[in-house]
Amino acid sequence: MALDKISVAQLYQKRAENYDISANLYYLIGIREFAYRKKAVSALKLERGDTVVEIGCGTGLNFRLLREWVGTEGRIIGVDLTAEMLSAANKRIERYNWSNIETVQSDAVAYDFPDRTDGIISTFAITLIPEYDKIIKKGATALSQGKKLVVLDFKMPDSWPRWLIKFFVIITRPFGVTLDLADRHPWESVNRYLNLKEFKSFYFGSIYVAAGEKR
């Protein structure tokens, strides 16, 4: 059964301190997690000075990548439900003295995007939120014309045998992945509310990047 919002928050409260280390363990099974993050950030096609919002920013693993695109004159806003994950993100910000990054503790559904939003991204997060469709719709409304919303996440591979799918769920369960999440298709919401400009699959179809542009 898919975790409810409270259970997801509790899970990531516990994982916050060692999240970065555990995320790197994906490399042991061939998942090039950071490389996929780079592809997702690149798909935003941000420009210097842009304002970008990350939904489910966690410990801020994407902040450096986003900052490379928007520069010191841009603005990065990291939104997360869990105080513990944001505490780790804020420590990262302080360590590198990033003055143009701010964090917001909020339920993503309740978050109000800034008046100017030039990019929205969520990596390995939005599928865990039951109201993902509402978030994408709200984000699509907030985006500036011609700007993009990008989702990087897991999906059910079409060609995998059942036993392999179950194994994949087991090894990703520490991050809240359950078999029920296969029924959630955020990329369809991206296509519903935006012009789907890019959809690419990786790791034998189990990971995807979907980029939608404001019509």
Mean pLDDT in consecutive groups of 10 residues from the start of the chain, 215 residues: 59 59 54 87 98 97 97 98 94 97 97 96 94 98 98 85 66 63 89 97 91 95
Each domain of the chain, given as residue ranges in start order, spans 5-213
Which superfamily does CATH assign the domain made up of 5-213 to?
Answer: Vaccinia Virus protein VP39 (3.40.50.150)
Are 67 and 41 in contact, with CB atoms under 8 Å apart?
Answer: no
What pLDDT shows up at residue 29? 46
The pLDDT assigned to 33 comes to 80
Interstrand relation of 75-80 and 117-123 (parallel, antiparallel or unpaired): unpaired
Q: Tell me: the pLDDT tens digits for 26-78?
A: 544 456 788 999 999 999 999 999 999 999 999 999 999 999 999 999 999 99
The b/e string for 13-41 (b: 16+ C-beta within 10 A; e otherwise) is eebbeebeeebeebeeeebebeebbebbb
Please tell me the distance from the alpha carbon of residue 202 to that of residue 31, in angstroms, as a whole number. 9
Structure tokens at 112: 């109000």
Identify whether the C-beta of residue 143 lies closer than 8 Å to the C-beta of residue 121: no
The enclosing H or E element of 150 equals: strand 143-154
The DSSP H or E segment spanning 136 is helix 132-142
